[in-house]
Structure 1
Amino acid sequence: MAQEKRSLSITGTVRSEQGDGLPALIVVHELGKGTAADLDGRFRLGGLNPGNYHLHVTHLGYKALTRTITLTTNDLELDLRLSESAITLQSLTIEANPFKNGPVEQSQTIEVVDREFLEKNNAGTFANALEKLPGISTINTGVGISKPVIRGMSFNRIMVNDRGIKQEGQQWGADHGLEIDPFDVDRVEVVKGPASLIYGSDGMSGVINISPAPLPREGTIQGHLINSYRTNNAMRSHSAMVEGNEKDFVFKGRVTLQDYQDYRVPADRFVYAGFELPVFDSRLKNTAGKERHFSFMTGLRKNWGKTTVTVSRFHQKAGIFTGAVGIPNSYNLRHNGEYGNIEFPRQNNTHLKVISNTTVQLKKNWLEIDLGYQRNQRREESLPHIHGVGPTPEGNLALYLDLDTYTANARFNHYINADHQSIIGVQASFMDNRFGGFEFLLPMFQSWNAGMFYFHEYRWKENVILNAGIRLDGARHQIQAHEQPVYDASLNPTGETVQRNPDIDRDFANLSGSAGMSWIFNEHTNFKANLGSSYRIPTPIELSTNGIHHGNFRHEIGDANLTSERSYQADLNFTHSLEKLLVGFSPFFAYYQDYIYLAPTGRFSTLPGASTLWEYRQNNAVFAGAELKFQWAPIPGVQASLAGEYVYNQNLDTRLPLPLTPPASLLGSIEWSLPQTTRILENGYLYLEYRQVASQNRVDRNERVTGGYGLVHAGLGWELLVAKSPWKFQLSGQNLLNTYFFNHLSRYRLLNLPEQGRNINLHLKIPISLKSI
């Protein structure tokens, strides 16, 4: 009862610089609790304990505002002013900064997108929707499988955090997608540059934080239905969501279904290993698939904090292009006319997650605890004779990877005074991998990882904020040896075995640190600098793999003697923001000592059904480059933007570029907000985009060069009031000119297969309100 007596409130008004009231959204970050101001801008947030809070204030057409406030013994009244901005994304706040105190105070380069952005740029997968951001590209295998690349790096150098827990699967493989429902993502923050200090060693190149939306308002039950259709491969997507809050008991559930057929390419033949092979009906055989996802969250929100538990399951069954297993020939590429069949070879993946998130107020401080369990099961199914083996006890199960991961993170956010804040954090994880099937790629292993860090922020002057931190990590890999059966020319077992990898027992320990600065010249100009030294331990796949990675069409070999790689990184960011103009420039440089990478050898594998031999190597390397962002609103209702990116790298030992480096690219777009002509048709828009990608001639030895190309995209959308409910319609098109091009990062580039042709996307979102205040 004592806490109830001390309950406090925040009241105030949100106004424009001219003094007009604004119906803005005000959210208390730590509690996930928010309210909407009335038409005069007045608001009230009650039921708060004494302590420190971060308020996020947003309203379309205005720059987002973050305010740190302190409640002591009395209620607090605020007068909040928002600056006008015609730049849409400036209405989003940044929360990836550990102190959550605004976009200009934090020292790193962070891009933020919300549900509206993701829906407008729906490309079938979560990773593909992020490609519109500068510095972000994707590695693709067919349609439903993609993973992000930040500044030329991917795999284990990028962390994907879902609700505070690192997504763990087979992220080392280009043909292993993120296994995240694209419709179940409400907000994404991409941290570019050195982020290892707070997030762990896999954050060398960047971190993608998937944050849940604010918890539902008390007394409401609402939801939506989403339906979309993509013409290129007849992809049908259906997603339903419902959420509510009854006396601070919150819940949210979602179900998503996706089905798609073999996709079309603007070609009827391709050339591989000197042979010209057909693409029947311009469709890549056996690239169909289906996905089934569900998630459910429940929890409590009180004045002392909040706690939630989320259970989700992602399931995907997808074909692998027939020519990617064994040597492609005209016979096995011929279609049977059933474009939706998922034949052999194929992958059947399931990712189960249970995540607990708890935030507790301790006087002026906050304790955050994230716990997670993940089970990632990957089954690759294929016909044994294609792999040079006879009938096996495993049947058609070529490869089975079964990974259990347990994760625990805790952060104590300590408020010292108005100028000093600090965070003490600990992180730990345990991974247990098992495998089966008649093929071999990755052995059984157990891996332990633990780390602790200290991070401090100091407001040296009102317009100069400094931060620094240090981190200590330790890890251990225990990898079991594997003996593989040998088959004779008649595909019968000989009774002999060959060792594919030895026993490996390795320990690692490293110290890392970083420091940053944000210098706010004035309300329009901001300069940031971030320096860091981090490390990454070699993963079990890099140490021990020795098998055919069919989705990549290559034989990969690890090296048990790899050591930890160390990086020294510098990241700068300059931003100039006006009401109708935003200019951002972000150069970066990094030196990597003992950089681990997968390189082509130029030799063919001796294993049946394999292609070229790739091996993990370790050399010193440098990375450099920059991103440019330009947004301009020349007249009301019109917004033009330009986003450019360039990555340069070099192996300092071979004096050659590193493999799989994304080429330079430029994305230009113009969007027009359509004038409202009727009361039932509103918020219309029309956009046109053009992406120019340069040739990639800087390639590693035995790596193909890739020519440049240009793509045209366009779209329009509007809201239609149906029974006072705004139904959202969208119509968009990608590669409208049906351009024939190669994506340098696509796995099918190794087979000289072009990317998807023209694709038209229809999208409908229907909001549902079951109960309102």
Structure 2
Amino acid sequence: MKNILFFVAALMLYTAANSQNSLTGTIISKNSNEPLLATVYIPQLEKGTTSDFDGNYIVNNIPDGNYNVVYSALGYATVSKKILFTKGKTITKAIQLEESAVEMEEVIISTPFHKLQSENVMKVERVSTESLNASGAVTLAEGIKNIAGVDVISTGVGIGKPVIRGLSSNRVLTYTQGVRLENQQFGDEHGLGINEAGIESVEVIKGPASLLYGSDALGGVLYLNPERFARSGETHGDLNSTYFSNTLGTSTNLGVKTSGEKLSFLARGSYSSFSDYKTGTDYRVTNSRFNEKDFKTGLQYLGSKFKSTVRYNYNRSNIGIPEEIGEQTQSKDLELPFQEVDNHIVSLDNTIFFNNSSLDVKAGYLFNDRREFEDDQSTAALRLKLSTFNYDVKYHLPELGNFETIVGLQGMFQNNKNEGEEILIPDAKTTDIGVFATTHFHLDQIDIQAGIRFDSRKIDSDAARNPLEEDFIPALDKNFNSFAAALGAKINLFEKISARLNLASGFRAPNLAELTSNGVHEGTNRFERGNHNLNSEQNFQTDLAIEYRNEHIEIFANGFYNAVNDYIFISPTDEVIDDTPVYDYLQDNASLYGGEFGFHLHPHPLDWLHFESSFETVTGKLKNDNYLPLIPANSLRNTFRVEFQDGKSRKSSSVFITLKNTLDQKNTGDFETRTGGYSLLSAGIESSFKLNNVMLKLAVNGTNLTDKEYISHLSRFKPDGILDIGRSVNIKLKVEI
């Protein structure tokens, strides 16, 4: 027995000793040969370092495997190198970075092969949460409106639902902590339930992503990347606080993180509170106030052959529901009616590293407890409890020549339960399972990616209400099966010009509200009548993206055409039940088309100067040429920004001014009205200072600086003529140790 234990211990020590590799080298500027302060990062390991003032760097304790190593520095084009680590060797790489208008390019996490955007076959928009906050956004949902092709359906300031190229609700899938977010997203008045504190960046896939994510990714994916752990051997803490003048609101969060060689830990807590927002005509929208508590924590272990990360997020949102303009007050205490929503998200992400392949196993448990109080603050009139377990298993096969291939299995078990008097959707169970395979073929001038997938969804719902009443909901037992496929290519047409062409199909099984609704939906003042005979939506989208870039300028043009068969929509009828108009869920073929166009000017040697301009447009029509509802108006955004990197006590400073012109929306759905155009001006300034080991950042920004009176076409307050938010001056302070 002792001999066996000795042999096992010796084998483990031998494996550990022979599996820990090192990467070392220097990073210099290709233009000047000067050393650079740059970041070295291995995304698959979530491990990295920063070069010193001489450009030298070293990363230790790297397991055996074939990894992408990313080198990035402000003002320079990011470089990604595929490096094979094996047998405990030390690999030396001397890297030259070239000045570029495209700065600090990051690895895209939402696509399976974890490549830089410049190497990715699929066009994905990525923006840091810090950049969204700098624009003056109150919430994460409001911030994503700054991404071209993305908008939100808003209910005041507190609730926002993402819209990607005209598609929203269950047609857009949200991922957080690496797992799909499920929180009754069928409802227009149901927000994300995610606080931006502890979210590092946002990625947006604009178009069918069913190959990667299954049902509900027919319109695209909003992928939220959690903040990274500290680098090995480092401990950090930070305090962030922001004041918003319009809502007299404050948002504060505190975070700590520490990492050793193998174990890493982080935690972050936040609290936000806002009073009723004030419009451009100087009245406050009664009961648009809200508050939010959020806590996130994570623990990671990185061994010689194994990486495991567990994260937990708790969020409680208390959101007022405005009904009419009433008492003008600055109170932050909620009035009836209001929502109280709890979200719990637990995720486990495990990766096993083999010499030339890896196995990723992710699992998530989510619990959403949604309560709505109408006449009594002690008893919820509506209460929905949604529990979801989902899993995602991917095996990265050994590379075969220029082929990278992944096969995967994904699934979900979901249970919906009612505990209130009101019923929007019945008690139900949903089971998903999907299998897929995708491969990436790389050559010097062309990259090709292709894949295929099969999914099955089973929905079992219970009967609800009295069988003798008109609003009775019968039991339901439905199965939906779908195939999806995708084929794309990125081609380097010339030295500075590249093109992407993607063809993809997607699908979406009808949700419970569309299948089973039969009663008054208080949030919309409609009697909604579902249709249990609805088919799955199926779509096919063509995307063409062309890009020109050099060290001074980037120009891009993205166009798409999206054909959706059996598009599900709600339509008014001539009936009235209980003094409430009746709306039916119907299906017809539809199409959406448009795109995003723009440029980014960053001339060298004027490294401090940036000018960005983008135009976005989308049109949606049914087969009978009637326009689809909730389609964003065309818009033009221009931003002028200057940035200075001092390198002394004042580390950096920046100033920006943005003018967004939203055009008239004349192409309206059956029960919509025309929305007039408007222009919104925003500006801001920020500076960061280094005092010994303390980094201090101070920022002041303003939104709607002209106090414009306007209503967004996607505002749920538009039918009541309630204006959007007016001028707000916001002050942010961040202290980091």
Same fold by TM-score, threshold 0.5 exceeded? Answer: yes
Letter in 1 for 2:374: S
Query: 1:651 — aligned with what?
Result: 622
* Cα distance in 2, alignment partners of residues 69 and 682 from structure 1: 33
Q: 1:574 aligns with which of 539, 546, 550?
A: 546
Q: Does 1:35 align with 2:35?
A: no
Deviation at 1:51, TM superposition (A): 1.9
Deviation at 1:214, TM superposition (A): 3.5
- C-alpha contact (below 8 Å) 1:68/1:101 kept by paired residues: no
Mapping 1:244-643, distance limit 5 Å: 244-267=258-281, 282-323=283-324, 333-335=325-327, 337=329, 339-383=331-375, 396-459=379-442, 461-483=443-465, 497-599=469-571, 601=572, 603=574, 605-607=576-578, 612-634=581-603, 635-643=606-614
Query: 2:230 — aligned with what?
Result: 216
- C-alpha contact (below 8 Å) 1:553/1:750 kept by paired residues: no
* Cα distance in 2, alignment partners of residues 519 and 606 from structure 1: 58
Deviation at 1:763, TM superposition (A): 0.7
Q: Does 1:684 align with 2:676?
A: no
Q: TM-score, normalised by structure 2?
A: 0.94
* Cα distance in 1, alignment partners of residues 712 and 584 from structure 2: 22
- C-alpha contact (below 8 Å) 2:214/2:507 kept by paired residues: no
CA distance change for structure 1 residues 63 and 437 in 2, over 3 Å: closer, same or farther?
same
Secondary structure, counterpart of 1:131 in structure 2: helix
Matched residue pairs, number? 720
Query: 1:103 — aligned with what?
Result: 117
Letter in 2 for 1:475: R
Letter in 1 for 2:678: Y
Deviation at 1:497, TM superposition (A): 4.3
Q: Does 1:699 align with 2:699?
A: no
* Cα distance in 2, alignment partners of residues 727 and 604 from structure 1: 62
Bigger mean CA deviation after superposition, 738-747 or 15-24: 15-24
CA distance change for structure 1 residues 517 and 336 in 2, over 3 Å: closer, same or farther?
closer
- C-alpha contact (below 8 Å) 1:658/1:699 kept by paired residues: yes
Q: Does 1:717 align with 2:730?
A: no
Query: 2:218 — aligned with what?
Result: 204
Letter in 2 for 1:748: F
Query: 2:184 — aligned with what?
Result: 170
* Cα distance in 2, alignment partners of residues 150 and 729 from structure 1: 33
* Cα distance in 2, alignment partners of residues 140 and 409 from structure 1: 31
Query: 2:716 — aligned with what?
Result: 747
- C-alpha contact (below 8 Å) 1:440/1:484 kept by paired residues: no
- C-alpha contact (below 8 Å) 2:39/2:50 kept by paired residues: yes
Letter in 2 for 1:545: S
* Cα distance in 2, alignment partners of residues 368 and 149 from structure 1: 30
Letter in 2 for 1:755: D
Deviation at 1:697, TM superposition (A): 0.8
* Cα distance in 2, alignment partners of residues 675 and 451 from structure 1: 49
Deviation at 1:538, TM superposition (A): 0.8
Q: 1:2 aligns with which of 11, 14, 18?
A: 14
CA distance change for structure 1 residues 33 and 636 in 2, over 3 Å: closer, same or farther?
closer
- C-alpha contact (below 8 Å) 2:319/2:338 kept by paired residues: yes
* Cα distance in 1, alignment partners of residues 161 and 445 from structure 2: 38
* Cα distance in 2, alignment partners of residues 514 and 334 from structure 1: 52
Mapping 1:762-773, distance limit 5 Å: 762-768=731-737
* Cα distance in 2, alignment partners of residues 709 and 417 from structure 1: 54
* Cα distance in 2, alignment partners of residues 620 and 523 from structure 1: 41
Question: Which 5+ residue runs of structure 2 have no aligned equivalent?
Answer: 1-12
* Cα distance in 1, alignment partners of residues 107 and 390 from structure 2: 28
Secondary structure, counterpart of 1:286 in structure 2: coil
Deviation at 1:348, TM superposition (A): 0.5
Deviation at 1:637, TM superposition (A): 1.4
| Superimposed CA distance per residue, residues 151-187 of structure 1 (whole angstroms, 9 cap, x where no aligned partner) | 0111111111112100001111121110111112112
* Cα distance in 1, alignment partners of residues 509 and 407 from structure 2: 23
Deviation at 1:40, TM superposition (A): 2.1
Deviation at 1:360, TM superposition (A): 1.3
Letter in 2 for 1:570: T
CA distance change for structure 1 residues 227 and 45 in 2, over 3 Å: closer, same or farther?
same
Deviation at 1:402, TM superposition (A): 0.6
Q: 1:77 aligns with which of 92, 102, 110?
A: 92
Secondary structure, counterpart of 2:117 in structure 1: coil
* Cα distance in 2, alignment partners of residues 174 and 282 from structure 1: 25
- C-alpha contact (below 8 Å) 1:405/1:430 kept by paired residues: yes
| Superimposed CA distance per residue, residues 489-525 of structure 1 (whole angstroms, 9 cap, x where no aligned partner) | xxxxxxx744432111101111111111011234522
Letter in 2 for 1:141: T
Q: Does 1:729 align with 2:730?
A: no
Query: 2:5 — aligned with what?
Result: none
Secondary structure, counterpart of 1:483 in structure 2: coil
Secondary structure, counterpart of 1:129 in structure 2: helix
Letter in 2 for 1:381: F
CA distance change for structure 1 residues 643 and 607 in 2, over 3 Å: closer, same or farther?
farther
Deviation at 1:93, TM superposition (A): 3.2
Deviation at 1:675, TM superposition (A): 7.9
Letter in 2 for 1:347: Q
Q: TM-score, normalised by structure 1?
A: 0.90
Q: Does 1:672 align with 2:642?
A: yes
* Cα distance in 1, alignment partners of residues 614 and 575 from structure 2: 40
Deviation at 1:231, TM superposition (A): 0.9
- C-alpha contact (below 8 Å) 2:276/2:330 kept by paired residues: no
* Cα distance in 2, alignment partners of residues 338 and 732 from structure 1: 22
* Cα distance in 1, alignment partners of residues 206 and 98 from structure 2: 27
| Superimposed CA distance per residue, residues 280-327 of structure 1 (whole angstroms, 9 cap, x where no aligned partner) | x7111111111111111112112323111111110011110033xxxx
Q: Does 1:131 align with 2:113?
A: no
* Cα distance in 1, alignment partners of residues 424 and 533 from structure 2: 18
Deviation at 1:363, TM superposition (A): 1.9
* Cα distance in 1, alignment partners of residues 379 and 311 from structure 2: 34
Bigger mean CA deviation after superposition, 113-122 or 467-476: 113-122
Query: 1:491 — aligned with what?
Result: none
Deviation at 1:724, TM superposition (A): 4.5
* Cα distance in 2, alignment partners of residues 119 and 706 from structure 1: 27
Secondary structure, counterpart of 2:197 in structure 1: helix
Deviation at 1:20, TM superposition (A): 2.2
- C-alpha contact (below 8 Å) 1:533/1:569 kept by paired residues: yes
* Cα distance in 2, alignment partners of residues 457 and 631 from structure 1: 29
Letter in 2 for 1:359: T
Secondary structure, counterpart of 1:127 in structure 2: helix
Q: Does 1:194 align with 2:163?
A: no
- C-alpha contact (below 8 Å) 1:682/1:719 kept by paired residues: yes
Aligned sequence identity (%): 28
- C-alpha contact (below 8 Å) 1:322/1:344 kept by paired residues: no
- C-alpha contact (below 8 Å) 1:109/1:193 kept by paired residues: no
Letter in 2 for 1:14: I
CA distance change for structure 1 residues 50 and 436 in 2, over 3 Å: closer, same or farther?
closer
